[in-house]
Amino acid sequence: MKSELIQRLTNTFESAAYTADDVEFWYARDLQVLLGYAKWDNFVQVIEKAKTASKNSGQDVEDHFADVGKMVDIGSGTRREVPDMMLTRYACYLIAQNGDPKKDQIAFAMSYFAVQTRKQEILERRISIQERMQAREKLTQSERELSGVIYERGVDEHGFARIRSKGDKALFGYATHEMKDKLRVPQGRALADFLPTITIKAKDFAAEITRFSVKRDDLKGKQRITQEHVKSNEGVRKVLVDRGIKPEALPPEEDAKKLKRQVEKDDKPMLKGIKKLPQKNGSGEKK
């Protein structure tokens, strides 16, 4: 995510914040717009998931989600009250965690509401880590789905591993084990855990293309599916190289699993000394 977008979103989210009794909060109707949800009903579903997460973490839902009313214009000078909600920073964090991660606003909000500082560099690093973690999880899902599809067509787990290695050879110019040696990946660890985000997404895209082609053309057998996967990776490599990106030349990134543990550890302090909403106080001042 670009620095300019992060700065713009930071300013937007901060301008929407209120305070009451020294507690920072946001209104759900405002947050709905900030997070890119067009329909209130769809956003309420995300809020309900967040409430469940709050309860499961041992927090009282009422301390972080407070129902209030909001007057809105409905035309011709007429106003009516609609349901709204006051949300603590922690509530907003849980909502972002349960939102659509493909939205830029959600990707930003997951970091913005997790960290207790507004420093640009900290937000940028957190968002960068979040994007890489999501890309890694998406690749795992895509490869699992591809494995299931080709298993139905006569290829076992070992056959899938060989197909994937042939795909890596087409993408990187090196087979999987060769790329692991090149990047000094620890024994027993997955190559993708040490790849940069763009290469993880490249592998994911190639896997998606192969799965689509195998199903569309009803391909069967290890040889035919291998050819298709090699073709998919060759196509993705061409796109990268044409843009001056040689995937095999990119340096390794920090261990994705280590980063995930670090993010989870960093999030835990949110539960310590967390501020709660004032009791049934619907008024607030702009920060």
**What are the 10-residue block averages of pLDDT along the chain, 287 residues in total?**
80 88 89 93 94 90 88 69 88 91 85 70 80 92 95 90 95 96 94 96 97 95 95 97 97 91 70 67 60
Claim: this prediction has a pTM higher than 0.75: no
Would residue 198 count as lying in a domain?
yes
Q: Is the domain of 91 the same as that of 194?
A: no
Q: Is the domain of 229 the same as that of 170?
A: yes
Would residue 204 count as lying in a domain?
yes
Q: Is the domain of 172 the same as that of 77?
A: no
What is the rounded CA–CA span in Å between residue 172 and residue 168?
6
Q: Is the domain of 171 the same as that of 213?
A: yes
Q: Is the domain of 136 the same as that of 244?
A: yes
Would residue 170 count as lying in a domain?
yes
Our count of domains for the chain comes to 2
Q: What is the DSSP string of 99-154?
A: S-TTSHHHHHHHHHTT-S---HHHHHHHHHHHHHHHHHHHHHHHHHHHHHHHHTTT
Would residue 140 count as lying in a domain?
yes
Q: Is the domain of 84 the same as that of 200?
A: no
- What's the pLDDT at 278? 77
What is the rounded CA–CA span in Å between residue 43 and residue 39?
7
pLDDT tens for each residue of 28-64? 999 999 999 999 999 999 999 999 999 998 888 998 9
Q: Is the domain of 64 the same as that of 95?
A: yes
Contact, 185 vs 191, CB < 8 A? Answer: yes
Query: Can you say how many angstroms the Cα of residue 254 is from the centroid of all Cα atoms in its chain?
Result: 18
Q: Is the domain of 107 the same as that of 134?
A: no
Range of the domain at 100: 3-114+267-286
The single-letter DSSP state of residue 12 is: H
Q: Which H/E stretch holds residue 79?
A: strand 78-88
Would residue 260 count as lying in a domain?
no
Would residue 261 count as lying in a domain?
no
